[in-house]
């Protein structure tokens, strides 16, 4: 069964600088790095590397940036039949990384912001799990969730970047994935009360709430249980893409028929493995690497 990702794809342009520019200032950095990105594309690559059959629906332009994320999705074996080419600039993210580790990011959404309900696949046949994020318009997220439900697919939303969800969307969600900040914002409570905050979201109609806790691991809360996974111990090099890896691998494992505890454990281990290498998509583990880490537990 297929995992369908409806989401964003970008070209990330990264520049290392001594310190971020002040307003009106120019600073000189070293060589720019150009990498494929966007939460939708990242999660599609993570799910495909983890062994799932993955289809992607998103929007891209016809400009010089388009081949970067498209090529990476294609190389990962993602089905791009529903990737729409629009008369709009492709999405890009301008990322400045200062010596103190602080990142400043400017995203030009471009075509991603124009992904409309009419661009969704006509049929959701063969889709077992729909996985979305919030870098595309809310009405498209809602329309995709409605269609997936009607087709009998499970609906998964990674509520990143944080924004409030429309009332109609909550009961359509089988699975919500959030980090600590997104959880606190959605639940309207201070950070540090993960279990009660997650439980309060269940009352809005979502089936299971997964919370990623960075170096503290992850947990899932359902009406009947709370399961926790401490972080898998690794030598951390760069945490970029850990959250996207968690989401993609979770979808891959669930679409393969895994139960929640097993899927949580695989996603938790995969998120940690993504921290051992530089970059987002470049750091995502293969199914073999995830399985090897799981069997060594």
Residue from 10, 133, 218, 265 that binds ligand ADP (CB under 6 A)? 218
Taking the C-alpha atoms of residue 242 and residue 254, their distance in angstroms, rounded to an integer, is 18
- Residue 162 binding ligand ADP, by CB under 6 A: no
Count of residues interacting with ligand ADP (CB under 6 A): 19
Q: Out of 27, 105, 215, 237, point to the residue binding ligand ADP (CB under 6 A).
A: 215
The greatest distance separating any two alpha carbons of the chain, rounded to the nearest whole angstrom, comes to: 55
- Contact between 117 and 146 under an 8 Å Cβ cutoff? The reply is no
Indicate whether 67 belongs to the interface with ligand ADP (CB under 6 A): no
What residues numbered 252-291 form the site for ligand ADP, per CB under 6 A?
Answer: 268, 271-272, 275
Q: Which of 27, 75, 226, 236 binds ligand ADP (CB under 6 A)?
A: 236
For residues 55 and 272, which CB has a smaller minimum distance to ligand ADP in the complex? 272
Rounded CA gap, 236 and 156, in Å? 28
Report in angstroms how near the CB of residue 57 gets to ligand ADP at its nearest: 22
Nearer CB in complex with ligand ADP: 44/60: 44
Annotated catalytic residue 30: no
Q: Are 27 and 226 in contact (CB under 8 A)?
A: no
Q: Which of 63, 139, 174, 244 is catalytic?
A: 244
Q: Does 212 bind ligand ADP (CB under 6 A)?
A: yes
In the complex, the smallest distance separating the C-beta of residue 215 from ligand ADP, rounded to whole angstroms, is 4
CB 96 within 8 A of CB 17: yes
246, 248, 254, 256: residue in contact with ligand ADP (rule CB under 6 A): 246
Distance CA 186, CA 193 (A): 13
Q: Does 217 bind ligand ADP (CB under 6 A)?
A: yes
Question: Of 44-52, 87-95, 145-153, 236-244, which segment contacts ligand ADP by CB under 6 A?
Answer: 236-244
**Binding positions for ligand ADP, 72-101, rule CB under 6 A:** none
Least distance (Å) between residue 236 CB and ligand ADP: 5
Q: Considering only CA atoms, which of 120, 133, 124 is closest in space to residue 251?
A: 133
One character per residue 45-64, x = contact with ligand ADP (rule: CB under 6 A): --------------------
At a CB cut-off of 8 Å and minimum separation 6, what does 129 contact?
Answer: 1, 3, 4, 153, 154, 155, 156, 251, 254, 255
- Among positions 214, 222, 258, 262, the unique one binding ligand ADP when judged by CB under 6 A: 214
Q: Between 168 and 197, how does the x/- string for binding to ligand ADP read (CB under 6 A)?
A: -----------x------------------
Least distance in angstroms from the C-beta of 85 to ligand ADP: 29
User: Which residues of this chain interact with ligand ADP, rule CB under 6 A?
Assistant: 179, 212-215, 217-218, 231-232, 234, 236, 239, 242-243, 246, 268, 271-272, 275
Catalytic residue ranges: 244
């Amino acid at each position: 069964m297929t995992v369908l990702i409806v989401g964003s794809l970008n070209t990330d342009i990264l520049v290392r600088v001594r310190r971020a520019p002040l307003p009106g200032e120019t600073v000189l950095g070293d060589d720019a790095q150009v990498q494929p990105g966007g939460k939708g594309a990242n999660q599609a690559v993570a799910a495909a590397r983890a062994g799932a059959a993955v289809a992607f629906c998103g929007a891209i332009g016809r400009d010089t940036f388009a081949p970067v994320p498209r090529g990476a999705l294609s190389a990962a074996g993602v089905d791009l039949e529903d990737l729409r080419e629009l008369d709009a600039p492709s999405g890009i993210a301008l990322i400045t990384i200062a010596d103190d580790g602080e990142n400043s990011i400017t995203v030009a959404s471009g075509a991603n912001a124009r992904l409309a309900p009419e661009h969704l696949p006509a049929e959701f046949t063969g889709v077992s799990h729909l996985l979305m994020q919030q870098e595309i318009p809310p009405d498209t997220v809602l329309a995709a969730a409605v269609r997936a439900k009607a087709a009998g697919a499970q609906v998964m939303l990674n509520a990143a970047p944080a924004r409030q969800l429309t009332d109609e969307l909550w009961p359509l969600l089988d699975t919500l994935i959030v980090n600590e900040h997104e959880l606190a914002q959605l639940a309207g409570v201070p950070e540090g009360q993960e279990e009660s905050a997650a439980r309060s979201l269940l009352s809005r109609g979502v089936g299971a709430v997964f919370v990623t806790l960075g170096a503290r691991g992850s947990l899932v809360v359902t009406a009947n249980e709370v399961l926790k996974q401490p972080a898998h111990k690794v030598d951390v090099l760069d945490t970029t893409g850990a959250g996207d890896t968690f989401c993609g691998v979770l979808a891959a494992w669930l679409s393969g028929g895994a139960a929640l505890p097993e899927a949580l454990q695989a996603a938790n281990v995969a998120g940690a493995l993504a921290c051992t290498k530089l970059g987002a998509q470049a750091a995502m583990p293969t199914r073999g690497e995830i399985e090897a880490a799981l069997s060594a537990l």
